[in-house]
Structure formats: structure tokens, C-alpha cells
Amino acid sequence: MIEFKHHIKYLKIVFISLFVMWILASVTSCDIFDSKIAKPVDSTYVFPEPDQSGTDIEVLFVDSGYTKAKLKAKKGRVFQDNQETFLDDMVNVDFYSRFSGARISNLIADSARIDDVTKNMLARGNVVVISDSTGNKLETQILEWNNRTQKIYSNEFVKISTRNEIITGYGFESDQNLENYKINRVSGISYRNN
């Protein structure tokens, strides 16, 4: 009988020890779990207000009396600290010849960002450029225009439609009238029946 009581006492100690260890493990794991839960996003963050904003915007890119391009957009916002201008809601750009002053191509896009220091432009969303002289048409989602070199670039998927063929690929560089263009990685060519 003494042995049986001793055995029950031993089982109680083991049971209590296991129960305490289980409680400690539960509390500790809850602390670890709680620390891994993502903290809520601060909903009080306020996006910066533009220094200037307007509608029916027109921007001229001029160098020594020569108009390189004329840009029109429905909405515009200027952020002076970042030296950027954002244009939204149907951007339309006419590019002009340095020699004749005549329009040589037209670009349309959903939006654009202009670096106010370099005057380079990044057009985004349903970008289409059509050459007045060749009729060549470029389609892409993102296109950069370099104000100094007057070249257009894209690292995205592009589609060029000419009178004779349609070329698709990735990466693109051209003069702004789409006469001398290069696609870095051609992914397809289809010929038109004339």
C-alpha cells in the first residue's frame, strides 16, 4: 500500500510538471506568434499635395527657338520638391522636325511623367506612336522620350506595324519619327498581304 501511495504521489508530480510545462509552452508560443503578426498600416499617411495643378494642360519643349514637341493633357500636377510633373487622362504629344519645323509623329498615352530638370518624359498605359512620314505605328505600355537626343526607348513588349509587316518583341529604340528603329529581342514577325 505504501508503494501504491508513493506511485500516485509520483504521478501527481509528473502530471503537474507536464501541465505547467504545457502552460508555459502555450504562453511562449503565443508571444512568438503575436510578434510575427503584421502590424496595421498607418492609415493617417497623407500623399503630398502638388504645388500646382490644372486642367487642359499644354507643355512646349523648346530649344533655341525650335519647338521639339508639344504636349497636351486633360490634367496636370507639378511637384516642385521632386522636380516632376505628372500628366493624366489622355496625354497627346506632337513631335516636330528640327529642320522643317513640321510635325513628324504623334504619341498618345494614358499618363506621363516629366522630369522637370532634364525634360525627359515617361509615357505609360496604352502608348501609341504613329509616324506622319512612314505611317509606322508603335504600341507598348511604357515608353521613354529623351529630350536631348530626341529618341524614344522601351524595355517592355512592343509591337511595330509597318506597311509590309508587324514585328513584336522586347526592348526598343528609335528616332521619334519611327524611321530608324531597333527591337532588341524580336519575338515575332508577320507579313501583310498587299
pLDDT, mean of residues 62-71: 90
Q: Give the model confidence (pLDDT) of 148-157 as tens digits.
A: 999 999 999 9
Supply the mean pLDDT for the chain.
84
Task: Give me the number of domains the chain comprises.
Answer: 2
Q: Is 45 a domain residue? A: no
The domain of 33 spans 1-40
pLDDT for position 13:
65
Range 43-48, long-range pairs (CB < 8 A, 24+ positions): 48/79, 48/81
Residues 36, 111 within the same domain: no
130 pairs with which residues across the strands? 106, 137
Residues 83, 157 within the same domain: yes
Residues 177, 95 within the same domain: yes
Q: Give the model confidence (pLDDT) of 111-140 as tens digits.
A: 999 999 999 999 999 999 999 999 999 999
pTM: 0.73
Residues 60, 35 within the same domain: no
Residues 80, 107 within the same domain: yes
CATH number of 70's domain: 2.60.450.10
Q: Is 47 a domain residue? A: no
The H or E element that residue 29 is part of is helix 2-36
Residues 102, 135 within the same domain: yes
Q: Are 88 and 159 in contact (CB under 8 A)?
A: no
**Alpha carbons 97 and 93: distance in angstroms, whole number:** 13
